[in-house]
Amino acid sequence: MTSSVSFRITRTAEDLAQTITALSQRLVKLEQRQQALELQLRQQQKDLNAVPDEEISTLEGVEALLRETRELLDITAPTSEAGLPDEPAQNESWGQEDETELSCDVA
């Protein structure tokens, strides 16, 4: 009886050792997989945050055009204000012409 109990204990200890080994291997694989996923995630975030050089140069060109446009508007703003009072009168007359045309078309 003592030998059968000893055999069972030995057998159980071996089974436990194999199970622990298998679990340890799985844990190592999972840790490696987690590290790979974290690295991939960091790379994707870095790629999303990075602005390509082409886009930066395009945006700088747009910014320069906006500055030039503002400068031109600032330079021409005082001269165009003199022409502003005439424009509403023209707009009013255009509206009247449209109404006349509509009334002619309806009749």
Q: So where are the chain's domains?
A: 1-50, 53-107
CA–CA gap between residue 47 and residue 54 (Å, rounded):
15
Residue 74 has pLDDT above 80, yes or no: yes
pLDDT digits (tens, 9 = 90+) for 29-51: 999 999 999 999 999 988 888 87
Q: 107 falls in which pLDDT band (50, 70, 90)?
A: very low
**pLDDT computed for residue 79 by the predictor:** 58
Q: What is the pTM of this model?
A: 0.42
Residue 99 has pLDDT above 50, yes or no: no
